[in-house]
Every structure is written in C-alpha cells, then in structure tokens.
Amino acid sequence: MAGPFATTVMHLSTGSVETVTDLTAGCEQFLTDASGGRDGLLSVFAPHTTAGIAVIETGAGTEEDLLSTLHHLLPADDRWCHASHAHDRPGHGRDHVVPALVPPHATFPVVAGRLAIGSWQSICLVDTNPANSERQVRLSFLG
C-alpha cells in the first residue's frame, strides 16, 4: 500500500508559443500510482515565475479565450517595469504578473484515489513565456 504522502515532478516542453497544457491525465496517473485508492488531497504546483495553474474546460476554445483575456488585461508592450530587453521581446514583464491572476498552485480533493473535479474541469498549466519552454509541475498527494 502506498504511504500517506507521495510526490513527483512532471517535466513538460511547452514549445515556442504561449500555451495552455492539460495536465489532468498526468494527475490521474500519478494518483493511480500514489494514492492507494485513499481519499486525500492533490497539490499541483508550478515552480515558475511566469506560469500558473488553471481549472478550465478544455477543447472548446477556452484555452484561446484565456490567453486572449490575459493579453487584454496584460498587454505585451513596453509599459512594464521588469526589463524585457534581456529576453528580446517586448512586454516580458507581463509574464511575471500572470501568476498573480493565474496562481502557480491549486489543491484538489481526491476520493477513493480519483480526482473529484467536475465533468468539464481540467487542470492546466498556463505558460505565457515562450522563452522558457522547459517546465516542471510538482504533484503531491496527501492521504
């Protein structure tokens, strides 16, 4: 039987454009291996200053809507104090504000070893910094 605490790190390559990456299947696989069928909590954490964790419906255009909304709220231009010249693209400072709106963490209930989320909910990594395409997401189960 699995112990009361388990953790792993998912390694992702998000590519050269802003992305919303569905992590739900990876979370479910981790729970199959780690939960021992127990109730508990799943913590999902992205240790990056330019990425966050969102719970959204995927596959119906919501990913593009979310990225568009972030662009509307946080335009990629020269208004940001955080220097963008080191990253060779204007507006990189906005990427560092994204985690204030899309936090880098979320916690989910686990019932009988399975995610207890809504039918249309998916757990996603929101990455607005294509200059850093190698990402990690830490999954931790406490049960």
Domains and CATH numbers, the chain: 17-40+50-131 (2.60.120.460)
Give the pLDDT of residue 112: 98
CA 35, CA 99: separation in Å to the nearest integer?
29
Confidence grade of residue 19 (pLDDT, cut at 50, 70, 90)? very high
Lowest mean pLDDT segment, chosen from 27-36, 80-89, 112-121: 80-89
Higher pLDDT among residues 69 and 4, named by residue = 69
What Cα–Cα distance (Å) separates residue 125 from each residue in 20, 53, 72, 85, 113? 6, 5, 19, 26, 22
**3-state SS class at 95:** helix
Q: What is the CA radius of gyration of the chain?
A: 16
Give the pLDDT of residue 50: 93
Give the pLDDT of residue 107: 98
Residue 95 has φ and ψ, to the nearest 5°, of: -60, -30
Instruction: Give tens-digit pLDDT for 79-91.
Output: 888 766 556 667 7
Contact 63, 56 (CB under 8 A): yes
Higher pLDDT among residues 76 and 55, named by residue = 55
**H-helix or E-strand spanning residue 16:** none
Instruction: Give tens-digit pLDDT for 99-111.
Output: 999 999 999 999 9
